[in-house]
C-alpha cells in the first residue's frame, strides 16, 4: 500500500487527502490547528461571512434611494436606525467556520483518511515526525505533500496585541465596533476589511502604499473602488507606508514613513503574509525555496526532492483557495499515476469581495501590455444597464478582451455587486476558447446584469479593430 503523508489541513491539504483516499492509498494528514486550515478557520471563510453582513448594510444604506424609510424618530436615514451587534456577528462568523471545519473533518473520517492533530516536520524526504500532546511519532512515507500555508506578516515596530493592534485573524475577538479603524495595507485583504467595516458603520482610515488601492488588480477596477471609498468619506493616505504602531491609552497611533501620525481606536495590519516553511526540515530534505521562503514547485506540484510535493500558499503560485485545492489534487493525481493535466493558471477566476466586488479571469491588461499581443478590448459601464438602474447601482463595468480576427475571449473583468457570481460565463468562455460571436448568440435574461456581458461581447463583433473601446451601454 502506497503511504501518503500530508502536512497541513487547508484546501491544499484536505482536497489532496480526499483524492488520495479515492485512489485507494493510505493517507495520513497532520494539521496543527484545525481542519480546513487558515482558509476555513481564520482567513477566507470568516472574512466572507463578515462581509455577508456588511453587504446587507450596504443595501440598507442605499435603500432610501429605492423608496424605503424606517421611522426611527429624528433621523430618516435607514442605516442609522440599524444597530450592528458585533459580538453576535463575530459569534456567527466563528460558529460557521467551526461548523465548516467539522464537516471537512467528518468527510475525511468517512473517506478513511487518518487525521492527526499535531505539528509536523520532515525527517528527510521520506519520513515525517509529528509532535502531538507531548508525544512524538515518526511516520514513513512514499509520498509527502507540504501544504503548510502562510502566516500574517508583522512589522517589528507594530506588534499585534490582539486587542487594538490586530491582524486579520484577531478581528473576530472584538465585541464592539471600533470607533476609528486604521487599516494598514490596501492589497486585497486590506481593501476587503476596509470596505466591510466601512459598511458596518466604522470610521475607516486606509494607509495605502501606492497611488491607488489594490495595486495588483485591474487599474480601472481599482480606480472605481478608490472613488467609491472616497465618496463614502473614507480617509485614504495614498503613497504612504506605516513604519510603526503603538498604543497610547485607548488610542492606537500609526506612524508613517514621512513623519505624520494617524490616530484611531484600533489598527488592522494587512501588510502581506510569509510562508510557514521555517523549521520543518525542508533544506535538509533537498527542497529548494525561493528567496521569499516559498517552496519552488513545477506545474504538477513537484518540489526539488523526489517524492515530495507542495501545494497552496506556501508555494507562492497564486494565493487562492481554489488554486491551493487544484495544486493539491494535481499532486495526488501525478504522484499516484492517475491522469493529470499540469496546473493552468490562464483561466483562474478570482474576486475581491468589496462593495462593489471586482471579479477577474484570464489575461490582464498588465499581461497584455507585457506580451505585446494585439488584443481587442471593450469596457462597458454598468450605469447604463437597466437592471443596475432598477437596483440603484451606479458604479462598475464589464470589460472583455478578445483576440483580433478570431474573436476568442481571453479575459475579462466585472466590477459590480455580486461580480463573483457574474464572472463564471466569462471563465467558461476563456477556458473553452469561445468567440465573442458565439458568446453573443446565446440568450441572457432581460433585465439582467449578465446582459451587459453579452452586450460587451456583441460590441466586440468588429474584433478585427482592436481600438473598439469605451462604447456606452445600449441595453435599454
Ligand atoms: C483575509 C483573507 C481572505 C481570503 N479570502 C479568500 C477568498 O475569498 N477566496 C479565495 O480563494 N482565497 C482567499 N484567501 C486566500 C486563501 O485563504 C488561501 O489561498 C488558502 O488558505 C490557501 O490554502 P492552503 O491549504 O495553502 O493553506 P492554509 O489554508 O493556510 O492551511 C495551511 C494549514 O497548515 C497547517 N500547518 C502549517 N504548518 C504546519 C506543520 N508544520 N504541521 C502541521 N500543520 C501545519 C496550518 O495550521 C494551516 O491550518 C484569503 C486569504 C486571506 C488572508
Ligand atoms: N478575495 C480573495 O480571494 C482574497 C482575499 C484576501 C487575500 N487573498 C489572497 O491573499 C493574497 C495576499 O493579499 P494581501 O492583501 O493579504 O497581501 P498583499 O501582499 O497582496 O498586500 C499587502 C499590501 O500592503 C502593502 N504594505 C506592505 N507594507 C506596508 C506598510 N508598512 N504600510 C502600508 N502598506 C504596506 C503592500 O504594498 C501591499 O500592497 C492575495 O494575492 C490574494 O490572492 C485573496
Q: Which ligand is nearest to the CA of 37?
A: 1
Compute the average pLDDT of residues 199-207: 97
The answer to whether the CB of 189 is under 6 A from ligand 1 is yes
370-408: per-residue pLDDT in tens?
A: 999 899 999 999 999 999 999 999 999 999 999 998 999
Ligand 2 atom nearest residue 184's Cα: 33
Compute the average pLDDT of residues 20-30: 98
The answer to whether the CB of 119 is under 6 A from ligand 1 is yes
186-197: per-residue pLDDT in tens?
A: 999 999 999 999
CA 276 to chain centre: 19
Could you give the count of Cα atoms lying within 13 Å of 456 in the half-sphere of its Cβ? 29
CA 179 to chain centre: 26
283-298: per-residue pLDDT in tens?
A: 999 999 999 999 999 9
> Would you call 451 exposed, middle or buried from its count of C-beta atoms within 10 A (0-12, 13-18, 19+)?
buried
ipTM of the complex, rounded to two decimals: 0.99
Contacts of residue 99, defined as CB under 8 A and 6 or more positions apart, other chains included, come to none
Provide the sign of the torsion angle of the four alpha carbons 272, 330, 350, 58, taken in this order: negative
Compute the average pLDDT of residues 183-206: 98
> How high is the pLDDT of residue 114?
98
> How high is the pLDDT of residue 473?
39
Q: Are 430 and 370 in contact (CB under 8 A)?
A: no
User: Which protein residues touch ligand 2 with a CB less than 6 Å away?
Assistant: 184-190, 192, 207, 209, 215-216, 241-242, 270-273, 319-320, 350-353
Compute the average pLDDT of residues 272-280: 98
What span, in angstroms and rounded, lies between the C-alpha atoms of 145 and 308?
Answer: 6
Report which protein residue has its CA nearest ligand 1's atom 19: 320
Q: Tell which residue, 130, 141, 113, has the closest CA to residue 306.
A: 141
> How high is the pLDDT of residue 83?
87
* pLDDT for 476 beyond 50: no
The answer to whether the CB of 38 is under 6 A from ligand 1 is yes
* pLDDT for 474 beyond 50: no
Average pLDDT over the chain reads: 94
> How high is the pLDDT of residue 71?
62
Amino acid at each position: 500500500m502506497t503511504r501518503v503523508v500530508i502536512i497541513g489541513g487547508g484546501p491544499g491539504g484536505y482536497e489532496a487527502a480526499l483524492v488520495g483516499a479515492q485512489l485507494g492509498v493510505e493517507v495520513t494528514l497532520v494539521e496543527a490547528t484545525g481542519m480546513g486550515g487558515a482558509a476555513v478557520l481564520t482567513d477566507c471563510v470568516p472574512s466572507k461571512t463578515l462581509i455577508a453582513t456588511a453587504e446587507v448594510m450596504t443595501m440598507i444604506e442605499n435603500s432610501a434611494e429605492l423608496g424605503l424609510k424606517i421611522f426611527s424618530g429624528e433621523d430618516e436615514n435607514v442605516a442609522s436606525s440599524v444597530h450592528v451587534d458585533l459580538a453576535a456577528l463575530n459569534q456567527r462568523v466563528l460558529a460557521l467556520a467551526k461548523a465548516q471545519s467539522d464537516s471537512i473533518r467528518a468527510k475525511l473520517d468517512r473517506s478513511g483518511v487518518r487525521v492527526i492533530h499535531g505539528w509536523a516536520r520532515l525527517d528527510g524526504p521520506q519520513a515525517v515526525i509529528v509532535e502531538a500532546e507531548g508525544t512524538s511519532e515518526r511516520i514513513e512515507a512514499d509520498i509527502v505533500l507540504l501544504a503548510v500555508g502562510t502566516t500574517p506578516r508583522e512589522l517589528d515596530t507594530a506588534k499585534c496585541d490582539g486587542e487594538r493592534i490586530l491582524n486579520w485573524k484577531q478581528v473576530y475577538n472584538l465585541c464592539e465596533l471600533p470607533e476609528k479603524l486604521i487599516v494598514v495595507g490596501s492589497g486585497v485583504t486590506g481593501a476587503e476589511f476596509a470596505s466591510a467595516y466601512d459598511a458596518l458603520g466604522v470610521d475607516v482610515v486606509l494607509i495605502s502604499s501606492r497611488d491607488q488601492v489594490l495595486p495588483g488588480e485591474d487599474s480601472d477596477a481599482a480606480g472605481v473602488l478608490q472613488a467609491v471609498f472616497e465618496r463614502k468619506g473614507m480617509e485614504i493616505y495614498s503613497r504612504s507606508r506605516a513604519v510603526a504602531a503603538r498604543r497610547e491609552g485607548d488610542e492606537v497611533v500609526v506612524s508613517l514613513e514621512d513623519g505624520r501620525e494617524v490616530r484611531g481606536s484600533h489598527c488592522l495590519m494587512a501588510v502581506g503574509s510569509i510562508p510557514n516553511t521555517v523549521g520543518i526540515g525542508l533544506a535538509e530534505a533537498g527542497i529548494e525555496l525561493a528567496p521569499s521562503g516559498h517552496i519552488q514547485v513545477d506545474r504538477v506540484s513537484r518540489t526539488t526532492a523526489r517524492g515530495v510535493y507542495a501545494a497552496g500558499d506556501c508555494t507562492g503560485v497564486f494565493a487562492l483557495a481554489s488554486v491551493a485545492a487544484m495544486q493539491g489534487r494535481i499532486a495526488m493525481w501525478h504522484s499516484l499515476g492517475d491522469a493529470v493535466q499540469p496546473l493552468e493558471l490562464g483561466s483562474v477566476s478570482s474576486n475581491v469581495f468589496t462593495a462593489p466586488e471586482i471579479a477577474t479571469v484570464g489575461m490582464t491588461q498588465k499581461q497584455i501590455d507585457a506580451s505585446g499581443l494585439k488584443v481587442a478590448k471593450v469596457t462597458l459601464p454598468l450605469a447604463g444597464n437597466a437592471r443596475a438602474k432598477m437596483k440603484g447601482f451606479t458604479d462598475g463595468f464589464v470589460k472583455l478582451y478578445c483576440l483580433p480576427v478570431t474573436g476568442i475571449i481571453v479575459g475579462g473583468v466585472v466590477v459590480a455587486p455580486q461580480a463573483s457570481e457574474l464572472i463564471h460565463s466569462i471563465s467558461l468562455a476563456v477556458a473553452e476558447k469561445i468567440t465573442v460571436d458565439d458568446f453573443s448568440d446565446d440568450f441572457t435574461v432581460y433585465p439582467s446584469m449578465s446582459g451587459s456581458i453579452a452586450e460587451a461581447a456583441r460590441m466586440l463583433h468588429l474584433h478585427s479593430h482592436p481600438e473598439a473601446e469605451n462604447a456606452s451601454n445600449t441595453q435599454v
